[in-house]
Amino acid sequence: GVAAAERSGLRVVGLAPSWIAADELAKSTGIEAQAIARWRWDTAQGRAAPLDARTVVIVDEAGMVGVRDFAAITEAVSAAGAKLICLGDRRQRQSVAGGAALRAVHDVVGRSAILEEVRRQEVPWQQAASKVMVAGDSEAGLRAYARHNGVDLVSGDDAARATALERWRAFRERHSDDVLIVTRRN
C-alpha cells in the first residue's frame, strides 16, 4: 500500500477536488492530501514540493475533477516523469468545474479497475449497496438506503421542494447556519 511505497523511497501526493474529499483520502490512506485548487496555487507560487520520477500522485474522486484541473495535474505529472493514479467513478455526477475528464481518459486509455472491496462504508448493508451500484444496479442500492431510512421517496416536484425545505429548516435548528442542501436543479 501507501506505507510500503513511501518506505521504498516513493513520495505519495494525494489530491482531491474538495477539502472534504482530501480529508477523507488522508484519513483512509494515511497520506497527506489536499484540495486540487490549493495544490495548483502552491505550485504556481513555487511553494509545492516539486514532482519527480519517484512521485506517485493519487487523485481521489477523479470523476468530479474538472477538465482544466485534470489537465494541470496530468501536465505536471508528465513533465516530472511521475506516476498518476486516478480513483473515481466515471459515471458519477459531473464536475461543477465542467467536463468529464475521467470519462474522457477512460474512453482514450480504455483501462480501468472495478471496485471489489469497499473500505469507506463500514456498515455491511452500505458495503453491499455500494457493490451493487458499482455493478450498475443503482435502483437496488437506493432501495437498500431507503430500507434503512437513508433516502426519502417523494412524489412530485412540489412535494420534493417542500420536503427539502422542511429538512433544511430542521437541520438549521439543530446545526445553526452551517447547513447546505444541494439539489440537481432548482
**Per-residue pLDDT tens digits for 25-41:** 998 888 999 999 999 99
Average pLDDT of 116-131?
Answer: 82
Least confident of 7-11, 12-16, 74-78, 170-174: 7-11
Residue 154 has pLDDT above 70, yes or no: yes
Measured CA to CA in angstroms, residue 165 lies from 16, 150, 176, 178, 185 at distances of 30, 17, 15, 15, 14
C-beta of residue 64 within 8 angstroms of C-beta of residue 58: no
Least confident stretch, 77-81, 94-98, 112-116, 181-185: 94-98
Whole-number pLDDT of residue 52 = 96
Percent of the chain with pLDDT over 90: 31
**More confident: 105 or 144:** 144
More confident residue, 85 or 117: 85
> Does residue 153 or residue 68 have the better pLDDT?
68
Task: Specify the pLDDT at position 134.
Answer: 76
**Chain segment 31-75, per-residue pLDDT in tens:** 999 999 999 999 999 999 999 999 999 999 888 888 889 889 999
Length of the chain: 186
Banded model confidence at residue 80, pLDDT cuts 50, 70, 90: very high
Model confidence pLDDT, tens digit, residues 90-119 = 555 555 555 556 555 655 566 555 656 776
Contact assessment for residue 104 and residue 68, using Cβ atoms and an 8 Å cutoff: no
Per DSSP, the three-state class of 99 is coil
